Amino acid sequence: MAKNPSSATPVSPKDTDENVEYVPVSRAGLGRRVLAIVYDSLVVAAVIMFAFAMLLALLGLLTKTGVVTLAEGEDHAALLQGNPITTIYLIAVLLWFYVGFWVRGGQTLGMRTWRLRVRNTDNSRITKKQALIRALTALFGFGNLWVLFGKEKLALQDRLAKCEVVVLSKEANQFINWK
C-alpha cells in the first residue's frame, strides 16, 4: 500500500478503513455540521418525494386491481395523508437513508461535501446500532448544539452513540471507501 510521505492519509482508493493508519484529526464544529444538514435536507426532500411517489403508485395499483376501494370523491393522496402507516413508512425511509450512509462510508452526501465523517474514535466505521442511536437522538439536528458546550466538540448523538464527527483532509475525503 502506497502512502504519501507527508501524511498518513491513504493515496489508494483500494484502502479500507481497517488498513488505514489512524490519523488524529479535528472534530467538526457546529458551522460545518449545520451546512451539511442544509445540504442533506435537499437530498432528503428528494428521497421522501420518491418514497411517497412509490407509495402512491402502489396504492394506485391496489385500487386498480380492486384490493383497495376509495370513497366517492376521495383521492389516493387523501387516503395516505395523516395515515400512521404512511408516517411510519416515511420515518423508516429516513432512517434507512441516514443509517445506510453512516454505516457504509461514514458520510451522507452533505457530510462528504463538507468533508465530515462519522467514525469511532479508533477510526473504525460505526455499527448499525450506533447509527440508529445517532439518528434517533439527533433531535432533528438540534442535538448538534451540544457541540458548543465542552471542549470535546461532541454533539448529543455523538455522546450517546459513542462516536465522533471529524473534519477530513481533501485527500482523505477523496478516498473514503464506500462498501
Number of neighbouring beta carbons within 10 Å of residue 49: 10
pLDDT value of residue 79: 81
CA-to-CA dists, residue 85 to 92, 102, 136, angstroms:
10, 26, 19
Distance of alpha carbon 113 from alpha carbon 137, whole angstroms? 23
Distance of alpha carbon 141 from alpha carbon 139, whole angstroms? 5
Query: In the predicted model, is pLDDT for residue 68 greater than 70?
Result: yes
Q: What is the pTM of this model?
A: 0.80
Question: Is 80 inside any structural domain?
Answer: no
Number of structural domains (the chain) is 1
Query: In the predicted model, is pLDDT for residue 7 greater than 80?
Result: no
Query: In the predicted model, is pLDDT for residue 72 greater than 50?
Result: yes
Residues 59-78 have a mean pLDDT of: 85
User: Which residues constitute the domain of residue 99?
Assistant: 25-42+88-174
Question: Is 179 inside any structural domain?
Answer: no
Question: Is 165 inside any structural domain?
Answer: yes
Q: Residue 115 carries which side chain, given as an amino acid letter?
A: R
Query: How high is the mean pLDDT of the chain?
Result: 86
Task: Categorize the per-residue pLDDT at 107 as very low, low, confident or very high, splitting at 50, 70 and 90.
Answer: very high
Question: Is 129 inside any structural domain?
Answer: yes
Given a contact cutoff of 8 angstroms between Cβ atoms, the answer to whether 115 and 168 are in contact is yes
Query: In the predicted model, is pLDDT for residue 6 greater than 60?
Result: no
In 3D space, the residue among 146, 158, 144, 164 whose CA is nearest the CA of residue 34 turns out to be: 144
Residues 45-71 have a mean pLDDT of: 91
Question: Is 18 inside any structural domain?
Answer: no
pLDDT tens sequence across 170-179? 888 887 765 5
Question: Is 68 inside any structural domain?
Answer: no
Question: Is 131 inside any structural domain?
Answer: yes
Cα 143 to chain centroid distance, Å, stands at 15
